[in-house]
Amino acid sequence: MAGLSDCFSIGSIVSCQTCHSEIIEGEVVAFEPHTKTLILKCPASDGKPNLNDVHIINLSFVSDVQVKKEVTALNETSPPSLNLARIQTRLKNSIEEKKRLVSALAAGVSPEGQQLFFTITKTMPEVSWEGKNIVIMNEVTITPPYKPDNVKGQSDSKAYIHVRKMVEKHLKDIQSSALSTNNSLDSSHNNNISISSSISSNAAPH
């Protein structure tokens, strides 16, 4: 593997080519030589200047590494240690959650259930699928058809009360959005009728 070093200086610019021929280039944030784990900070893929994408790369699956810009500090400090156990746990949980989502979709989860799931994940931790059921923090379960009355759990717990309010708000937002869309369609339809009537009137013989 060309250009592979035993250690990468923090702040250096490194380019990696993965086994899928994908090129990832960014600034070295941390490097763990024992597991060959390299973390690169790259410009945000959505183009926002105040954000960055962070890539965790296992160099065992990289076909080529090149140091584009080497940083050597006079007072070199130890690179930040990686909490590998935490990284591996997050990666494992992410993979398991994706598998559960695929299983839920295969089980026939409705679009309403999917939409509610993603709404909850924006503000609450530990949200997962259990078949067609949405499970929050292992305390609250939402069963199909995902209405407020389908929220199951200890009714006086903070988690239950919060989740039920979220479901109620989610349904109100959907109903409000649907009503707004229908009103817009009705208005457009009435305008079309008025235009047609005007054309017919103008076309009538005198």
Q: What is the domain partition of the chain in residue ranges?
A: 13-82, 85-190
* 80 prior amide bond cis, ω within 30: no
Has domain 13-82 been given CATH number 2.30.30.100?
Answer: yes
61 vs 80: CA distance, rounded Å: 23
- Position 200 scores a pLDDT of 52
Amino acid in the structure at residue 139: E
First CA to last CA across the chain, in angstroms?
88
- Burial of 136 from C-beta contacts in 10 A (0-12 / 13-18 / 19+): buried
27 vs 52: CA distance, rounded Å: 11
Vertex 93: Cα angle to 118 and 167 (nearest 5) = 25
- Position 189 scores a pLDDT of 55
Asked whether the beta carbons of 135 and 128 are under 8 A apart, the reply is yes
Looking up tokens 């209405």, which residue turns up? Answer: 147
In this prediction, residue 106 has a pLDDT band, given cuts at 50, 70 and 90, of confident
129 vs 20: CA distance, rounded Å: 31
Q: Please write the tens of the pLDDT for every residue from 114-164.
A: 889 888 888 887 888 888 899 999 999 999 999 999 999 999 999 999 999
Looking up tokens 């949405």, which residue turns up? Answer: 134
Q: Please write the tens of the pLDDT for every residue from 55-88.
A: 888 888 888 888 888 877 544 455 555 566 777 7
Q: Where is 63: in which H helix or E strand?
A: strand 62-69
Instruction: Please give the share of the chain, as a percent, with pLDDT higher than 70.
Output: 77
The pLDDT of 13-39, averaged and rounded, is: 86
Answer yes or no: is pLDDT of 18 > 70.
Answer: yes
